[in-house]
Amino acid sequence: MRPAFCFLILLHAFSFSLASQVLSHRQGIDILHYDWKIEISEESDTILGKADIKIQFTRALTHFYLDFNAPDSNGKGMFISAISENGKPLTYQHKAEQLRIDRPVMVGDNIAITISYYGVPGDGLIISRNKFGDRTYFSDHWPNRAHHYLPVIDHPSEKATSEFGIRCAPHLQVVSNGIIRERTLVADSLQWVRWYSNVPLPVKVQVFAAAPFSVQEVASINGIMVSSWVFPQNRAEGFLDYMAAAEVLQQFIYWLGEGGIPLQKLANVQSKTRYGGMENAGCIFYFEESVNGKRDQEGLFAHEIAHQWFGNTVTEADWPHIWLSEGFATYLAEIYKQEVKGEVAFRAGMDIAR
Protein backbone atom coordinates (compact mmCIF):
# COMPACT_ATOMS: atom_id res chain seq x y z
CA MET A 1 0.00 0.00 0.00
CA ARG A 2 1.22 3.47 -0.86
CA PRO A 3 1.76 6.23 1.75
CA ALA A 4 -1.14 8.25 0.32
CA PHE A 5 -3.41 5.75 1.99
CA CYS A 6 -1.68 5.77 5.40
CA PHE A 7 -4.34 7.93 7.06
CA LEU A 8 -7.05 5.66 5.69
CA ILE A 9 -5.08 2.67 6.95
CA LEU A 10 -4.99 4.06 10.48
CA LEU A 11 -8.75 4.59 10.39
CA HIS A 12 -9.17 0.99 9.22
CA ALA A 13 -6.86 -0.21 11.98
CA PHE A 14 -8.86 1.45 14.74
CA SER A 15 -12.16 0.22 13.32
CA PHE A 16 -10.77 -3.30 13.01
CA SER A 17 -9.72 -3.25 16.67
CA LEU A 18 -13.39 -3.70 17.51
CA ALA A 19 -13.71 -6.54 15.04
CA SER A 20 -10.64 -8.16 16.57
CA GLN A 21 -12.44 -8.37 19.90
CA VAL A 22 -14.98 -10.76 18.38
CA LEU A 23 -12.48 -13.14 16.82
CA SER A 24 -13.37 -15.82 19.38
CA HIS A 25 -15.40 -17.69 16.77
CA ARG A 26 -12.15 -18.30 14.86
CA GLN A 27 -10.10 -19.50 17.83
CA GLY A 28 -9.00 -23.10 17.83
CA ILE A 29 -8.63 -23.22 14.04
CA ASP A 30 -5.37 -23.40 12.11
CA ILE A 31 -5.74 -23.40 8.33
CA LEU A 32 -2.94 -25.47 6.81
CA HIS A 33 -3.73 -25.21 3.10
CA TYR A 34 -6.25 -23.65 0.72
CA ASP A 35 -6.87 -25.10 -2.73
CA TRP A 36 -9.19 -22.75 -4.60
CA LYS A 37 -10.63 -23.64 -8.00
CA ILE A 38 -12.43 -20.78 -9.74
CA GLU A 39 -14.17 -20.75 -13.12
CA ILE A 40 -14.64 -17.31 -14.65
CA SER A 41 -16.74 -16.44 -17.67
CA GLU A 42 -16.55 -13.90 -20.46
CA GLU A 43 -20.36 -13.72 -20.61
CA SER A 44 -21.26 -13.33 -16.95
CA ASP A 45 -19.88 -12.02 -13.64
CA THR A 46 -20.99 -15.24 -11.94
CA ILE A 47 -18.11 -17.43 -10.80
CA LEU A 48 -18.13 -21.14 -10.01
CA GLY A 49 -15.97 -22.00 -7.02
CA LYS A 50 -14.65 -25.02 -5.20
CA ALA A 51 -12.44 -24.80 -2.12
CA ASP A 52 -10.56 -27.74 -0.63
CA ILE A 53 -9.36 -26.65 2.80
CA LYS A 54 -7.07 -28.54 5.20
CA ILE A 55 -7.58 -27.56 8.83
CA GLN A 56 -5.93 -28.47 12.12
CA PHE A 57 -7.70 -27.81 15.42
CA THR A 58 -6.07 -26.60 18.61
CA ARG A 59 -9.14 -26.99 20.81
CA ALA A 60 -12.22 -29.19 21.00
CA LEU A 61 -15.20 -27.68 19.18
CA THR A 62 -18.75 -28.71 18.33
CA HIS A 63 -18.66 -26.50 15.23
CA PHE A 64 -16.38 -23.95 13.60
CA TYR A 65 -16.60 -20.84 11.43
CA LEU A 66 -15.09 -19.47 8.26
CA ASP A 67 -15.46 -15.98 6.82
CA PHE A 68 -17.60 -16.20 3.66
CA ASN A 69 -20.16 -13.76 2.31
CA ALA A 70 -23.71 -14.97 1.78
CA PRO A 71 -25.83 -13.27 -0.91
CA ASP A 72 -27.01 -9.77 -0.02
CA SER A 73 -30.26 -8.01 -0.91
CA ASN A 74 -28.83 -7.19 -4.35
CA GLY A 75 -28.06 -10.83 -5.06
CA LYS A 76 -24.29 -10.38 -4.78
CA GLY A 77 -22.47 -12.94 -2.69
CA MET A 78 -21.90 -16.67 -2.73
CA PHE A 79 -24.50 -19.45 -2.83
CA ILE A 80 -23.28 -22.76 -1.39
CA SER A 81 -24.07 -25.90 -3.36
CA ALA A 82 -22.56 -28.41 -0.93
CA ILE A 83 -20.03 -28.90 1.87
CA SER A 84 -18.48 -32.30 2.44
CA GLU A 85 -15.66 -34.19 4.15
CA ASN A 86 -14.34 -37.20 2.25
CA GLY A 87 -17.56 -37.20 0.23
CA LYS A 88 -19.79 -37.14 3.31
CA PRO A 89 -22.14 -34.12 3.46
CA LEU A 90 -21.75 -31.71 6.36
CA THR A 91 -24.50 -29.51 7.74
CA TYR A 92 -23.90 -25.78 7.81
CA GLN A 93 -25.42 -22.34 8.32
CA HIS A 94 -24.50 -19.48 5.99
CA LYS A 95 -25.55 -15.99 7.04
CA ALA A 96 -24.16 -12.52 6.35
CA GLU A 97 -20.36 -12.85 6.41
CA GLN A 98 -20.06 -16.12 8.35
CA LEU A 99 -20.20 -19.78 7.45
CA ARG A 100 -20.82 -22.12 10.38
CA ILE A 101 -19.92 -25.77 9.77
CA ASP A 102 -21.36 -28.33 12.20
CA ARG A 103 -18.53 -30.80 12.61
CA PRO A 104 -17.35 -31.80 16.12
CA VAL A 105 -13.56 -31.99 16.47
CA MET A 106 -11.01 -32.78 19.16
CA VAL A 107 -7.67 -31.12 19.91
CA GLY A 108 -5.13 -32.13 17.25
CA ASP A 109 -7.70 -33.28 14.70
CA ASN A 110 -6.85 -32.68 11.04
CA ILE A 111 -9.68 -32.58 8.54
CA ALA A 112 -10.10 -31.74 4.86
CA ILE A 113 -13.37 -30.22 3.69
CA THR A 114 -14.70 -29.30 0.27
CA ILE A 115 -16.98 -26.32 -0.32
CA SER A 116 -18.72 -25.96 -3.70
CA TYR A 117 -20.37 -22.64 -4.45
CA TYR A 118 -21.28 -20.01 -7.04
CA GLY A 119 -22.28 -16.37 -7.23
CA VAL A 120 -21.39 -12.81 -8.20
CA PRO A 121 -18.66 -11.31 -6.00
CA GLY A 122 -19.74 -8.11 -4.30
CA ASP A 123 -16.09 -7.23 -3.67
CA GLY A 124 -12.65 -8.84 -3.42
CA LEU A 125 -12.56 -9.90 -7.09
CA ILE A 126 -12.65 -7.00 -9.55
CA ILE A 127 -14.37 -8.15 -12.74
CA SER A 128 -14.30 -5.22 -15.13
CA ARG A 129 -12.66 -3.81 -18.23
CA ASN A 130 -9.25 -2.19 -18.35
CA LYS A 131 -8.59 1.17 -19.97
CA PHE A 132 -8.27 -0.53 -23.36
CA GLY A 133 -11.70 -2.15 -23.08
CA ASP A 134 -10.51 -5.70 -22.41
CA ARG A 135 -12.36 -7.78 -19.83
CA THR A 136 -10.13 -8.51 -16.82
CA TYR A 137 -10.26 -10.28 -13.45
CA PHE A 138 -8.14 -9.15 -10.48
CA SER A 139 -8.23 -10.30 -6.88
CA ASP A 140 -8.15 -7.29 -4.57
CA HIS A 141 -8.19 -8.70 -1.05
CA TRP A 142 -6.58 -6.06 1.17
CA PRO A 143 -7.35 -5.60 3.97
CA ASN A 144 -10.04 -8.26 4.57
CA ARG A 145 -12.07 -8.59 1.36
CA ALA A 146 -11.14 -12.10 0.22
CA HIS A 147 -14.18 -13.60 1.97
CA HIS A 148 -16.48 -11.88 -0.52
CA TYR A 149 -15.78 -14.79 -2.87
CA LEU A 150 -13.44 -17.23 -1.06
CA PRO A 151 -14.18 -19.24 2.12
CA VAL A 152 -11.27 -18.25 4.38
CA ILE A 153 -10.19 -16.95 7.73
CA ASP A 154 -9.82 -13.35 6.62
CA HIS A 155 -7.35 -12.12 9.20
CA PRO A 156 -3.61 -11.39 8.95
CA SER A 157 -2.75 -13.69 11.87
CA GLU A 158 -3.89 -16.76 9.91
CA LYS A 159 -1.30 -17.97 7.39
CA ALA A 160 -1.53 -20.98 5.10
CA THR A 161 -0.06 -22.37 1.91
CA SER A 162 -2.33 -22.13 -1.10
CA GLU A 163 -3.03 -22.80 -4.74
CA PHE A 164 -5.29 -21.20 -7.30
CA GLY A 165 -6.70 -23.21 -10.18
CA ILE A 166 -8.42 -21.01 -12.77
CA ARG A 167 -10.68 -22.16 -15.62
CA CYS A 168 -11.02 -19.37 -18.14
CA ALA A 169 -10.90 -18.38 -21.80
CA PRO A 170 -7.60 -19.41 -23.46
CA HIS A 171 -6.72 -15.89 -24.63
CA LEU A 172 -6.21 -14.84 -21.01
CA GLN A 173 -2.91 -15.04 -19.16
CA VAL A 174 -3.21 -16.10 -15.51
CA VAL A 175 -0.74 -15.13 -12.79
CA SER A 176 -0.79 -15.81 -9.06
CA ASN A 177 1.44 -16.37 -6.04
CA GLY A 178 4.18 -18.97 -6.16
CA ILE A 179 4.97 -20.98 -9.26
CA ILE A 180 2.88 -22.24 -12.16
CA ARG A 181 2.16 -25.96 -11.98
CA GLU A 182 -0.07 -26.49 -14.99
CA ARG A 183 -1.54 -24.84 -18.05
CA THR A 184 -3.79 -27.10 -20.11
CA LEU A 185 -6.21 -26.41 -22.95
CA VAL A 186 -9.31 -28.40 -21.95
CA ALA A 187 -11.52 -27.21 -24.84
CA ASP A 188 -11.39 -24.76 -27.72
CA SER A 189 -12.87 -22.09 -25.46
CA LEU A 190 -11.47 -23.12 -22.07
CA GLN A 191 -8.11 -23.53 -20.36
CA TRP A 192 -7.05 -24.69 -16.90
CA VAL A 193 -4.17 -22.87 -15.17
CA ARG A 194 -2.87 -23.79 -11.72
CA TRP A 195 -0.45 -21.87 -9.51
CA TYR A 196 0.95 -23.17 -6.20
CA SER A 197 2.59 -21.34 -3.29
CA ASN A 198 4.50 -23.34 -0.68
CA VAL A 199 4.93 -20.29 1.57
CA PRO A 200 2.36 -19.74 4.37
CA LEU A 201 0.74 -16.35 3.79
CA PRO A 202 -2.28 -14.36 4.98
CA VAL A 203 -5.11 -14.31 2.46
CA LYS A 204 -4.85 -10.54 2.08
CA VAL A 205 -1.82 -11.15 -0.19
CA GLN A 206 -2.93 -14.43 -1.86
CA VAL A 207 -4.39 -13.49 -5.23
CA PHE A 208 -4.80 -14.24 -8.92
CA ALA A 209 -5.19 -12.17 -12.07
CA ALA A 210 -6.57 -13.19 -15.45
CA ALA A 211 -6.31 -10.73 -18.33
CA PRO A 212 -4.71 -10.26 -21.74
CA PHE A 213 -1.07 -9.70 -20.79
CA SER A 214 2.25 -9.32 -22.52
CA VAL A 215 4.87 -10.98 -20.32
CA GLN A 216 8.59 -10.32 -20.09
CA GLU A 217 11.15 -12.06 -17.90
CA VAL A 218 13.43 -9.23 -16.79
CA ALA A 219 16.18 -10.81 -14.70
CA SER A 220 16.97 -13.51 -12.17
CA ILE A 221 17.99 -11.86 -8.90
CA ASN A 222 19.55 -14.37 -6.48
CA GLY A 223 17.49 -17.09 -8.13
CA ILE A 224 14.25 -15.07 -8.02
CA MET A 225 12.83 -14.52 -11.50
CA VAL A 226 11.52 -10.98 -11.91
CA SER A 227 8.88 -10.56 -14.62
CA SER A 228 6.57 -7.87 -16.00
CA TRP A 229 2.91 -8.49 -16.85
CA VAL A 230 1.42 -5.54 -18.74
CA PHE A 231 -1.50 -4.92 -21.06
CA PRO A 232 -0.47 -5.62 -24.68
CA GLN A 233 -1.55 -2.19 -25.93
CA ASN A 234 1.12 -0.48 -23.76
CA ARG A 235 3.65 -3.28 -23.97
CA ALA A 236 6.71 -1.18 -24.86
CA GLU A 237 6.08 1.44 -22.18
CA GLY A 238 5.19 -1.19 -19.59
CA PHE A 239 8.32 -3.26 -20.11
CA LEU A 240 10.42 -0.10 -19.83
CA ASP A 241 8.69 1.12 -16.66
CA TYR A 242 8.51 -2.22 -14.84
CA MET A 243 12.15 -3.08 -15.52
CA ALA A 244 12.97 -0.90 -12.49
CA ALA A 245 11.51 -3.54 -10.15
CA ALA A 246 14.53 -5.81 -10.67
CA GLU A 247 16.87 -3.02 -9.60
CA VAL A 248 14.79 -2.37 -6.47
CA LEU A 249 14.73 -6.05 -5.52
CA GLN A 250 18.48 -6.37 -5.96
CA GLN A 251 19.11 -3.37 -3.70
CA PHE A 252 16.73 -4.60 -0.99
CA ILE A 253 18.28 -8.06 -0.98
CA TYR A 254 21.67 -6.37 -0.52
CA TRP A 255 20.30 -4.39 2.43
CA LEU A 256 17.93 -6.89 4.04
CA GLY A 257 19.03 -10.32 2.83
CA GLU A 258 16.80 -12.80 1.06
CA GLY A 259 16.28 -15.21 3.93
CA GLY A 260 12.62 -15.79 4.61
CA ILE A 261 11.05 -13.54 1.98
CA PRO A 262 8.11 -15.39 0.38
CA LEU A 263 9.36 -15.11 -3.19
CA GLN A 264 9.36 -18.09 -5.50
CA LYS A 265 9.29 -15.39 -8.18
CA LEU A 266 8.40 -11.70 -8.42
CA ALA A 267 5.73 -10.81 -10.97
CA ASN A 268 4.97 -7.10 -11.40
CA VAL A 269 1.46 -6.76 -12.77
CA GLN A 270 -0.42 -3.87 -14.38
CA SER A 271 -3.86 -4.20 -12.84
CA LYS A 272 -7.23 -2.79 -11.83
CA THR A 273 -6.46 -2.66 -8.10
CA ARG A 274 -8.26 0.11 -6.24
CA TYR A 275 -4.92 1.07 -4.67
CA GLY A 276 -1.80 2.61 -6.15
CA GLY A 277 -0.07 -0.67 -5.51
CA MET A 278 -0.86 -3.89 -3.68
CA GLU A 279 1.95 -5.99 -2.20
CA ASN A 280 0.57 -9.44 -3.03
CA ALA A 281 3.29 -11.98 -2.28
CA GLY A 282 5.51 -12.45 -5.32
CA CYS A 283 2.70 -11.08 -7.48
CA ILE A 284 2.50 -7.32 -6.96
CA PHE A 285 -0.40 -5.44 -8.56
CA TYR A 286 0.05 -1.81 -9.66
CA PHE A 287 -2.64 0.62 -10.81
CA GLU A 288 -3.04 0.62 -14.58
CA GLU A 289 -1.81 4.21 -15.04
CA SER A 290 1.54 3.20 -13.50
CA VAL A 291 2.56 2.48 -17.09
CA ASN A 292 3.48 5.70 -18.89
CA GLY A 293 6.92 5.08 -20.44
CA LYS A 294 8.60 7.58 -18.09
CA ARG A 295 10.10 5.18 -15.52
CA ASP A 296 8.87 7.46 -12.74
CA GLN A 297 7.37 4.84 -10.40
CA GLU A 298 10.50 3.65 -8.57
CA GLY A 299 9.04 4.81 -5.26
CA LEU A 300 5.90 2.77 -5.84
CA PHE A 301 7.91 -0.33 -6.74
CA ALA A 302 10.16 0.15 -3.70
CA HIS A 303 7.21 0.48 -1.34
CA GLU A 304 5.47 -2.67 -2.55
CA ILE A 305 8.67 -4.73 -2.78
CA ALA A 306 9.60 -3.70 0.78
CA HIS A 307 6.32 -5.27 1.88
CA GLN A 308 7.62 -8.65 0.75
CA TRP A 309 9.72 -8.52 3.93
CA PHE A 310 7.47 -6.37 6.13
CA GLY A 311 3.83 -7.35 5.85
CA ASN A 312 4.16 -10.64 3.97
CA THR A 313 7.00 -12.43 5.79
CA VAL A 314 6.73 -10.50 9.06
CA THR A 315 2.97 -10.03 9.35
CA GLU A 316 0.88 -8.05 11.81
CA ALA A 317 -0.79 -10.13 14.52
CA ASP A 318 -3.84 -7.87 14.40
CA TRP A 319 -5.23 -4.90 12.51
CA PRO A 320 -4.19 -2.13 14.93
CA HIS A 321 -0.56 -3.03 14.17
CA ILE A 322 -0.83 -2.43 10.41
CA TRP A 323 1.16 0.78 10.82
CA LEU A 324 4.26 -1.33 11.50
CA SER A 325 4.48 -2.83 8.02
CA GLU A 326 3.33 0.40 6.37
CA GLY A 327 5.94 2.33 8.34
CA PHE A 328 8.77 0.05 7.24
CA ALA A 329 7.62 0.06 3.61
CA THR A 330 7.28 3.84 3.53
CA TYR A 331 10.70 4.42 5.09
CA LEU A 332 12.50 1.83 2.94
CA ALA A 333 10.99 3.36 -0.21
CA GLU A 334 12.44 6.72 0.78
CA ILE A 335 15.81 5.16 1.62
CA TYR A 336 15.83 3.65 -1.86
CA LYS A 337 14.96 7.06 -3.30
CA GLN A 338 17.92 8.50 -1.39
CA GLU A 339 20.17 5.84 -2.93
CA VAL A 340 19.17 6.56 -6.52
CA LYS A 341 18.04 10.21 -6.49
CA GLY A 342 19.91 11.80 -3.60
CA GLU A 343 19.36 13.49 -0.27
CA VAL A 344 17.00 16.22 -1.49
CA ALA A 345 14.56 13.68 -2.93
CA PHE A 346 14.78 11.63 0.28
CA ARG A 347 14.02 14.63 2.51
CA ALA A 348 11.13 15.70 0.31
CA GLY A 349 9.64 12.21 0.44
CA MET A 350 9.97 12.02 4.21
CA ASP A 351 8.25 15.38 4.58
CA ILE A 352 5.32 14.10 2.51
CA ALA A 353 5.19 10.86 4.52
CA ARG A 354 4.85 12.84 7.74
In sequence order, what DSSP letters do the residues of 260-294 get, joined into one string? T---S-EEEEEE--SSSEE--TTEEEEEGGG-SSS
Evaluate if residue 5 carries a pLDDT over 60. no
Evaluate if residue 21 carries a pLDDT over 70. no
List the Cα angle 104/106/111 in 5-degree steps. 70
The rounded distance, in Å, linking the Cα atoms of 184 and 307 is: 33
The reported pLDDT for the residue numbered 19 is: 44
List the Cα angle 248/254/258 in 5-degree steps. 90
Residue at 176: amino acid letter:
S
**Confidence category of residue 25, pLDDT binned at 50, 70, 90:** low
In degrees rounded to 5, what are phi and psi of residue 326?
-65, -35
The rounded distance, in Å, linking the Cα atoms of 50 and 38 is: 7
Evaluate if residue 3 carries a pLDDT over 50. no
**Confidence category of residue 24, pLDDT binned at 50, 70, 90:** low
Percent helix, strand, coil in the chain, to 5, is: 30, 40, 35
Query: Higher pLDDT residue, 322 or 219?
Result: 219
**Confidence category of residue 187, pLDDT binned at 50, 70, 90:** confident
Evaluate if residue 13 carries a pLDDT over 70. no
pLDDT digits (tens, 9 = 90+) for 220-232: 999 999 999 999 9
Evaluate if residue 9 carries a pLDDT over 70. no
Sign of the C-alpha dihedral, residues 196, 200, 201, 203? positive
> Which of 24-33, 258-267, 283-292, 332-341 comes out lowest in average pLDDT?
258-267
What is the mean pLDDT of the segment spanning 312-320?
91
**This prediction's pTM:** 0.92
> Which helix (H) or strand (E) element contains residue 93?
strand 91-95
**What is the average pLDDT value for the chain, to the nearest integer?**
92
Which CATH number is correct for 3-353, 2.60.40.1730, 1.10.1060.10, 3.40.50.300, 3.40.1080.20? 2.60.40.1730
What is the mean pLDDT of the segment spanning 2-22?
42
Closest alpha carbon to 176 in 138, 208, 216? 208
Residue at 16: amino acid letter:
F
The reported pLDDT for the residue numbered 341 is: 79
The reported pLDDT for the residue numbered 261 is: 75
**Confidence category of residue 343, pLDDT binned at 50, 70, 90:** confident
